[in-house]
Amino acid sequence: MGYRLHRSVLVTILLGLFLGTLSWAKPAQAAPQAAPQEATPEATPSRYFSETGHNIAGAIRTFYETHGDLAIFGLPLTEVVTEGGRDVQYFERARFELHPELAPQYYVSLTHVGRALVEGRTGAAFAAAAPNSTGVFFKETAHNLDTGFLAFWKANGGLPVFGYPLSDEFGEQSPTDGVVRPVQYFERARFEYHADASPAHRVQLGLLGTQLLDRSGVPASARKPVARIGLLGEATTAYYGSFAERINNIARGAAQMNGIVVKPGGVFSFNAILGDAGTADGYVDGYAIVNGRLEKVIGGGLCQVATTLYRAVFNAGLEIVERRNHSYVINFYENVAGWDATVFAPYVDFKWRNDTAGPITIYASTNPAKATVTFSLYGSNDGRTTQMVGPTISNRKAQSIPNWQFDPTLKRGQVRQLVHGRPGMNVSMQRVVTAANGRVIHNDNLPSKYLPWEDFFIYGPGVVPPHGVKIVAPAAKPAKATRP
């Protein structure tokens, strides 16, 4: 049906996409796949370099600190900037690129700064070489790597950090101090041998990031010092009582959001960042109510991730571009009525805009011991404040009789309550965001309308449902929905 899906059908789909998996029974012992490790709250603040007046944050900071830190990459020269349609950040010895279109492990990549700077160069050092007997020969580029350069290459990250050699070792005058010294170019670096330095520092990396930045079209203003990044807003929600499948999906969804950088003026789309969210990504299926029946869908729990991020964005006073409430009141979000956001690709998304002057980094973490998920947003704090007006509840409607559905996969005599019903209601809420000078930036009306939601049970063979309940026929085939 595509985008022509009837609204009543869509609302019914949205209701059950893991909004009602609360159960007071003991949850399953383990999810089909282990959840990833997320950043802990202690690891979330950004890092500020007073020497250049720039920050590193999120996935860039993680990559920087786990692949050599200052000694390998040098100081940051800019914040995250857009160049050639790509978000990048320049360092003295490298340029980091952000690739949201790739898998999370490849979100941060290093530019081939060495290749860019030797393009078109000729000479014996850049010509294809024959293997020698003292080092390692790389057939991919037909160059040798030996002596002290080989030891440094191996000890400091090797191929993922430096790439293949693009030359053999040769003498070159330094563009920094004019001294002629042995050097060797790699795809992402230039090794230099400083004979006058201490033994531990004789192999150093050339300032290729600085050279590339000098040749780029990035405006000089990007190098100017900026303020230290601070906390703009955060939120925590609890998922106590969720089944193992839902817990797995919450952890994976939060991990995919962790470290994402949203540039100034950029619009964050939850669905775009999440991608397919299928079994290949580690998500698992579980129960959801689709058109009044319990069916298996993949990715349940992601609405909790979206709701928690929405609350952090709300608190930070950022521009809300697209948000829709769930069709039913969800027990996980009852602490503040009407403060939730649902997602259902491609029909329903959660989007927000970075309307601050600097980049914003998303940090997400889960605490399995406390059964909570937390989102924190770090960026340039411009002094704005946020006020919530409400919520005000009206037009309450009582829930109807419980629904019972047969599930042949349950054990004989087993009953599970998947939904603890809630009354329907209308909720009015307003958000007023005020700038440091007193000017109102945003004055948002964020109403929510919830339908009454009945208790929903599934039962196995040998169980006779109690009198007076509604018997729901099982689904004829698996649901096509892939995630909430």
Q: Is the pLDDT of residue 236 over 90?
A: yes
The pLDDT value given to residue 476 = 61
- Separation CA 316–CA 312 (nearest Å): 6
If you count them, how many residues does the chain have?
A: 484
Q: What mean pLDDT value characterizes the chain?
A: 85
pLDDT in tens, 121-152: 999 999 999 998 888 999 999 999 998 899 99
Asked if residue 2 has pLDDT above 80, the reply is: no
pLDDT at 19: 36
What would the pLDDT profile of 298-329 be if each residue is shown by its tens digit? 777 889 999 999 999 999 999 999 999 998 88
- Among 26-40, 231-245, 290-304, where is mean pLDDT lowest? 26-40
Report the pLDDT value the prediction gives residue 441, as an integer from 0 to 100: 96
- Shortest CA distance to 444 belongs to which of 393, 394, 392, 389? 389
pLDDT at position 475: 65
> pLDDT, tens digit, for every residue of 152-170?
999 998 998 999 999 999 9
Distances (CA, A) of 408 to 43, 456, 460, 469: 45, 16, 6, 19
User: How does strand 456-459 pair with strand 403-406?
Assistant: parallel
Res. 289 pLDDT band, cuts 50 70 90: low
Is the pLDDT higher at 468 or at 330?
468
Q: Which of 39-48, 53-62, 276-285, 374-383 has the lowest mean pLDDT?
A: 39-48
CB 32 within 8 A of CB 279: no
0.75 exceeded by pTM: no
Residue 42's pLDDT band (cuts 50, 70, 90) = very low
Q: What's the confidence (pLDDT) of residue 78? A: 96
User: What is the reported pLDDT for 291?
Assistant: 60
Average pLDDT over residues 457-462: 95
Structure-block tokens of residue 325: 């409430």
Nearest to 14 by CA among 451, 457, 478, 471: 451
Cα within 13 Å of Cα(197), Cβ side: 10
Residue 44, φ and ψ in degrees, nearest 5: -80, -35
Indicate whether 50 pLDDT > 90. yes
Say which DSSP state 200 is in.
Answer: G
Higher pLDDT, 105 or 61: 61
Work out the pLDDT band at 294, boundaries 50, 70, 90. Answer: low
Please state, in angstroms and as integers, the Cα–Cα distance from residue 21 to each residue in 81, 172, 190, 287, 456, following that order: 42, 66, 55, 7, 10
By CB atoms closer than 10 A (0-12, 13-18, 19+), residue 126 is middle
**The Cα angle at residue 89 between residues 83 and 94, in degrees rounded to 5:** 110
